[in-house]
């Protein structure tokens, strides 16, 4: 009797787990830091070692900008060249679409690193409005790095990246935008105890050692 009951339970369990995973909301870690702080490099390492999907707000915008027939392409292009922040509706819709497509393709992929977002109060309000109850923000992973280190890294990257914004003039504008617009967002999350700060001025391996400690502690 008990054996038969356990057998039936073991058959039902995968279906229960399947239903729970289908209902799972995206679990989000916001990855922030100045341009050149190493967000993309560290996100790539995290994806290799942990069950996260990396979504870069900047990459999604650049892809949309270059996509043939995009209604937002020209608008995105002008904002990026000026080092300004793209309207929130565009960015959030691209992020939401990417998360939905990822989870639809593989229900086990519900953990996301969202890199370079939210960048300002408008971004945060937009996220809270559109994604309220639809995603859980676990914490903010902050890569903290001095301005000159960031600029030097981006100028070096610009030699091969092909990015139009990897030049000193655009970089200085982007850093000012980060300090004026993104730092206040980080401070808001700090008040909630949701910021995990890493000294990003060190080598890739040293930075990733700290990242591992944080992710293993957070679970």
Least confident of 20-29, 58-67, 102-111: 20-29
β-pair partners for 56: 115
User: CA-CA distances (angstroms) from residue 52 to 42, 183, 207?
Assistant: 12, 25, 18
Determine if residue 116 is labeled as part of a ligand binding site: yes
Determine if residue 62 is labeled as part of a ligand binding site: yes
How far is it between the farthest Cα atoms of the chain?
A: 76
Determine if residue 40 is labeled as part of a ligand binding site: yes
Tell me the residue length of the chain.
Answer: 219
Q: Which CATH class is domain 29-109+118-218?
A: alpha beta
- Residue 11: the pLDDT is 53
Q: Which helix (H) or strand (E) covers residue 112, if one does?
A: strand 111-115
Determine if residue 83 is labeled as part of a ligand binding site: no
Q: CA dihedral defined by 28, 34, 40, 45, rounded to 10 degrees?
A: -80
Determine if residue 112 is labeled as part of a ligand binding site: no
Reduced to 3 states (helix: H, G, I; strand: E, B; else coil), residue 69 is coil
Determine if residue 86 is labeled as part of a ligand binding site: yes
CA separation for the pair 73, 60 (Å, rounded): 11
Determine if residue 85 is labeled as part of a ligand binding site: yes
- Residue 161: the pLDDT is 81
CA separation for the pair 120, 88 (Å, rounded): 9
Confidence category of residue 121, pLDDT binned at 50, 70, 90: very high
More confident residue, 4 or 207: 207
The DSSP code for 33 is E
pLDDT tens figures, 8-37: 544 544 443 343 344 589 999 999 999 889
pLDDT at 4 over 60: no
Determine if residue 123 is labeled as part of a ligand binding site: yes
Q: Where are the domains of the chain?
A: 29-109+118-218
Determine if residue 177 is labeled as part of a ligand binding site: no
Q: What residues contact 11, with CB distance under 8 A and at least 6 apart?
A: none
- pTM (2 d.p.): 0.80
Determine if residue 84 is labeled as part of a ligand binding site: yes
CA separation for the pair 37, 200 (Å, rounded): 6
pLDDT tens figures, 70-105: 878 888 888 888 888 788 888 998 999 999 999 999
Q: What residues contact 52, with CB distance under 8 A and at least 6 apart?
A: 29, 43, 46, 111, 112, 113
Determine if residue 37 is labeled as part of a ligand binding site: yes
Determine if residue 90 is labeled as part of a ligand binding site: no
pLDDT tens figures, 130-169: 999 999 999 999 999 988 888 899 888 888 888 888 888 8
Determine if residue 158 is labeled as part of a ligand binding site: no
Check: CB of residue 91 under 8 Å from CB of residue 30: no
- Residue 18: the pLDDT is 41
Determine if residue 41 is labeled as part of a ligand binding site: yes
Determine if residue 65 is labeled as part of a ligand binding site: no
């Amino acid at each position: 009797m008990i054996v038969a009951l356990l057998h039936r339970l073991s058959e039902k369990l995968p279906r229960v787990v399947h239903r729970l995973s289908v209902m799972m909301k995206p679990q989000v870690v916001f990855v922030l830091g100045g341009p050149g702080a190493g967000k993309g490099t560290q996100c790539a390492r995290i994806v290799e070692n942990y069950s996260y999907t990396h979504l870069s707000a900047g990459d999604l915008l650049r892809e949309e900008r270059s996509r043939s027939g995009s209604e937002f392409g020209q608008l995105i292009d002008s904002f990026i060249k000026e080092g300004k922040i793209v309207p929130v509706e565009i960015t959030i819709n691209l992020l939401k679409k990417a998360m939905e497509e990822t989870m639809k393709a593989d229900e086990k992929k519900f953990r996301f690193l969202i890199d370079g977002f939210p960048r300002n109060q408008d971004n945060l309000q937009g996220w809270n409005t559109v994604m309220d109850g639809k995603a859980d923000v676990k914490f903010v992973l902050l890569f903290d790095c001095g301005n000159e280190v960031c600029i030097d890294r981006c100028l070096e990257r610009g030699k091969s990246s092909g990015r139009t914004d990897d030049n000193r003039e655009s970089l200085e504008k982007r850093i000012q935008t980060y300090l004026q617009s993104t730092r206040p967002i980080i401070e808001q999350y700090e008040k909630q105890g949701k910021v995990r700060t890493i000294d990003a001025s060190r080598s890739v391996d040293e930075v990733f050692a700290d990242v591992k400690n944080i992710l293993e502690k957070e679970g």
